[in-house]
Homo-oligomer: A and B are copies of this chain.
């Protein structure tokens, strides 16, 4: 069996275990509505994305960096004329996002349940630790995971470190996630397995256009297929 060597399965969290990206897309939409006196929606989205990309190396990933970028963009795009009440609303949007209910994706729970007795399951995410712990708790999935791995970015070097820390060889590691850029390509590069489960919404920063072809790769349409592929039905 091609996957017999796998001992640890790491799951990405946002948009792999539960819905996340739509929360950001919705917040961006609300932001651009608040900015409609200053610029049209499409230009607003582009300029906000540019602010986020500029801040990414300094702020990192997650809701708090996003809110700080919203505030910065509001001041810049309005040329310093936006009312303070808008800043307050952006802060409120951030708090709402941090407290949003967690919608677990279809098929995830039964799949984790089937895999947990046979593999060490970990959650590997580049989000914010406190926020991801809170979501894992709310999701009701915590008991299936051995532990959470938070990385500041999902690069080859970080996956190397993760595998070393788990004390396994790359061919004993499988990553499952929705981002080709973060969850698939760097994992294949270190000689591990990577299965892609696309989510309907992908952040522009995470988009990779070319299809992946690699013996250690599989494209799945949902989490339930994992059980079949790994013969754990």
A residues at B contact (CB < 8 Å): 58-60, 64-65, 67-68, 71-72, 75, 80-82, 84-85, 87-88, 91, 94-95, 98-99, 128-131, 133, 147, 150-152, 161, 165
Contacts and interface: CB of A to CB of B under 8 A. Distances in A.
Contacts of A131: 60
A75 B84 contact: yes
Nearest to A147: B165
Q: Give the copy number.
A: 2
Contacts of A95: 58
A150 B165 contact: no
A34 to B, nearest CB: 14
A150 B98 CA distance: 20
Contact of A147 (B59, B68, B75, B161): B161
A130 B152 contact: yes
Contacts of A129: 60, 129, 150-152
Contacts of A91: 68, 71-72, 75
A82 B75 CA distance: 14
Contacts of A65: 64
21 contacts: A58-B95, A59-B64, A59-B98, A60-B128, A60-B131, A64-B64, A68-B91, A68-B94, A71-B91, A75-B84, A75-B87, A75-B91, A80-B84, A80-B88, A82-B84, A84-B84, A87-B87, A129-B129, A129-B150, A129-B151, A130-B152
